Copies of this chain bind each other. A is one copy, B any other.
Amino acid sequence: MSAEKNMWLAGGVHGTQVQVRFGDTDPYGIVYFVSYFRYCHRAIEEFLRAVGLPPEETFKNVQEGFGLPIVEAWGRFRRPSKYGEVLRIETRVQDVRTKAVVFRFEFYPETGRELLAEGTATLVAIGSDWRARELPARVKAALLHKT
């Protein structure tokens, strides 16, 4: 189960919220760019859970012999956010390839449509030998039929 509220999944877009916490900011009270990447991972976790892929069985699945490490990530940070603010994250699957999936993230204020930050993360399917392999069929299906 998820500990988050205010989540939704519609038209392939998953929404979640994070609150900027102590320890998420730089020494000047502004969200540290590293925290956005942490928020992105949290958004992937919630997305996966929402499409029937529990993250604790999806990032590494010993029984089925696959893993899904993040091999590339990018972020642009447009407007500063501060301690205590609530950020809305919209997450979608930007691309599903044979062996990889690319997520796209957009950060907005709790209310309003100003884009605060955006990013992408690429996950590659690997086998137990750490070599790239095809995405497991059920994972691919869940990512593609995601509404």
Contact = CB atoms under 8 A, between A and B. Distances in A.
Interface stretch (A26-34, A94-102, A136-144): A26-34
Interface in A23-80: 23, 25-30, 32-35, 37-38, 41-42, 45, 54-56, 59-60, 67, 69-78, 80
A32 B24 CA distance: 11
A86 B3 contact: yes
Contacts of A129: none
Interface residues of A, number: 51
Nearest to A67: B28
Nearest to A42: B21
A16 B117 CA distance: 28
Given A5-B4, A22-B41, A69 B80 contact: yes
Interface of A: 1-6, 17-19, 21-23, 25-30, 32-35, 37-38, 41-42, 45, 54-56, 59-60, 67, 69-78, 80, 82-84, 86, 110, 121, 130
